[in-house]
Amino acid sequence: MHDRTISRRALLTATAVAAAAVCATALPAHAVPGPIPSRRYPDRLRRLVSRMSLEEKVGQLFVMRVYGHSATDPDRADADANLAEIGVRTAAELISTYHVGGIIYFAWAHNTRDPHQIAALSRGIQRAALAQRTPVPLLISTDQEHGAVARIGKPATLLPGAMALGAARSPDEARESARIAGAELAAMGINQNYAPDADVNVNPANPVIGVRSFGADPQAVAGLVTAQIRGYRSAGVATAAKHFPGHGDTTDDSHYALPTIHHTREQWTELDAPPFRAAIAAGAASIMTAHIVVPALDPSEDPATLSHPIVTGVLREQLGYDGVVITDALDMKGVRQKYGDDRVPVLALKAGVDQLLNPPDLRLARDAVLAAVRSGELTERRIEESVLRILALKDRLGLFRDPCPPRGSVDRTVGTPAHLATADRIAEATTTLLVNKRGLLPLSRSRERNLLVVGAEAASPSGTTGPPVTVLATALTELGFTVTALATGTAPTAARIDEAVAGARGKDAVVVATYNVTAASAQRTLVSALAATGVPVVTLAVRNPYDIAQLSGVTASLAAYSWTDVEVRAAARVIAGRARPRGRLPVPVRRADDPARVLYPMGHGLTY
């Protein structure tokens, strides 16, 4: 017993005396270099693995959701939800029961109420991790892509999303955006962000990627992926380039179905691979797999997440990636259609994956991996290979020295005036002017004083942003216009359209916020009816920039690429002439009546 105690004390040098007395010190952000080849793993990490039980090793592979704003004292409803879904009541119990290597934050799980609460939750989670028999800090992650996907809202800084940055065409702005995002995440104790999106969105009908991609040009996407990885790395936050081998040309959403990519291997090499090659060259800390079928890469038609030819054959051997590979969420239907929930984690590990993200049933998944090791289907050496990659990433992030956000970091870093001003400046460079007949824009407070603002009220369900009609009307009012606002929604009724038409009478211009307009959308009827009044109509696409192809009678049209406050406010400044439109389309807009023909090519963008 005495010898074992001495050995364990020596081992705990890997945790720097329980991580500086359990989160007591403030450390600067740590630069995160690229993946360390397996032969270079420090001996102290190998010793740490050697002291772990099999259950502890397997636990390190899982990244799990947990309900609640506190690690030890969640609300009763959250504790009940944890008990029902995971079999534990708190994050601390999750860690002690399953020895998980990571936790993912969601707004719907009530993890992200405000920055101070998030930082306190992160501290509580790390304290619980360091109180275990084998103390190992956790990777705490979230999806804070910005733009269309953000789990943390105001007062944190909300920045333009990927396609907006693609319109700005500035690697420097993309890197600065990631640096700010990373600094604020680190201040809240979040050390791994599932970004940037490395998909090349060549399919306008893509229901799940769209504006989450930087664009349709593989080389341009590669450059911006590189810039963002460097920005996050400078802030000490690990990235997860996603969704390998490329989710940009699908018509199905992998949350609800299993999409198929029909690219040939040559097309994949030309279209999909460049951003992932660039991510690897830039030192991507992790790469996330996609729940998609790519027959050209694996004729078995297994999802890429479960495909040895894709994860090991292409990503590890062909592209030479030796860093952490993480699955997309394992509760998504795309990965659950072909195999049961007990087989999915085992097959993912056999494919070459390291981290298993958010399985629907953690106990079932954990027990399935343990059974696979005990039966010989998986070797313990294979488990240790992934554990070492994960521990090496934690080590490079500085988590063994101090895994907690420094005291006071939230007030010093999150939502500062400097960050907010930078977000506004970057957003102005993204707004794209597609149409400007008769030089209508910019609007003049003396010529077009009275405005009607109508359209979609696509408020974020996570509360990260306001409804765009409200934000746009408020911004234009602050810029000196007299504004009437009317939310007509994404599917306006005939009565609502009539109300908008009546409201347009006597106005100098109408601004319509559109959201993913389709051929069958009532938003088309709304815009046509407003144009028929003779009042100039300005449309602002607040998600995909393809809306203009479906609209007629428009006098001016802009693309904001997101309904977030920062992008809508920037568009308002462009409409009012307080900023020049500088964005250029990062994707082509094709004709609605003949998709083979391009209406507005990549690079199109007017200015004044």
Domains present along the chain, CATH in parentheses: 2-413 (3.20.20.300), 431-600 (3.40.50.1700)
Tell me which of 1 and 211 has the higher pLDDT: 211
Q: Give the per-residue pLDDT at 18.
A: 47
Strand partners, 511: 453, 538
In the predicted model, what is the mean pLDDT of residues 527-545?
A: 97
Q: Are strands 589-590 and 598-600 parallel, antiparallel or unpaired?
A: antiparallel
Better-predicted residue by pLDDT, 441 or 18: 441
Residue type at 143 in one-letter notation: D
228, pLDDT greater than 70:
yes
Residue type, 137: P
Query: Within the chain, how many helices (H) and strands (E) appear?
Result: 23, 16
Question: Mean pLDDT over residues 373-382, rounded?
Answer: 97
**Token pair of 384, please?**
């240790």
E strand segments, 245-384: 286-289, 324-326, 356-357
pLDDT (0 to 100) of residue 24? 52
Identity of the amino acid at 507 = K
Would you state the pLDDT for residue 30?
43
For residue 104, the one-letter residue type is I
The H or E element containing residue 240 is strand 238-244
The tokens describing 487, both together, are 């939310």
Whole-angstrom distance between the N-terminal and C-terminal Cα of the chain? 78
* Angle of helix 218-234 versus helix 171-187 axis, rounded to 10: 40
Average pLDDT over residues 454-478: 82
Mean pLDDT of 314-327: 97
Query: b/e for 570-600, b at 16 or more Cβ within 10 A?
Result: bbbbbbbeebebbbbbbbbbbebeeeeeebb
pTM of the predicted structure, to 2 decimals = 0.92
- CB count in 10 Å sphere of residue 7: 13
State the average pLDDT over residues 96-103.
Answer: 98
Based on its alpha-carbon atoms, the radius of gyration of the chain, rounded to whole angstroms, reads 25
> Could you please report the per-residue DSSP string of 461-500?
TTSSS--HHHHHHHHHHHTT-EEEEEE--SS--HHHHHHH
Angle at 489 between CA 483 and CA 494, to 5 degrees: 100
Q: Is the pLDDT of residue 522 over 90?
A: yes
pLDDT of residue 569: 97
Distance from chain centroid for Cα 438: 39
Half-sphere exposure of 309 toward its Cβ, with a 13 Å CA cutoff? 12
Catalytic residue ranges: 255, 328
Query: Which of 512, 336, 493, 387 is closest to 61 using CA atoms?
Result: 387
pLDDT confidence of 27, banded at 50, 70, 90? Answer: very low
Q: What percent of the chain has a predicted confidence (pLDDT) above 90? A: 90
Interatomic CA distance for residues 377 and 382, integer angstroms: 10
Judge contact between 228 and 174, C-beta under 8 A: yes
- Between CA 167 and CA 582 the distance in angstroms is 8
For residue 291, give both structure tokens: 């729940």
- Give me the mean pLDDT over the 478-498 stretch: 96
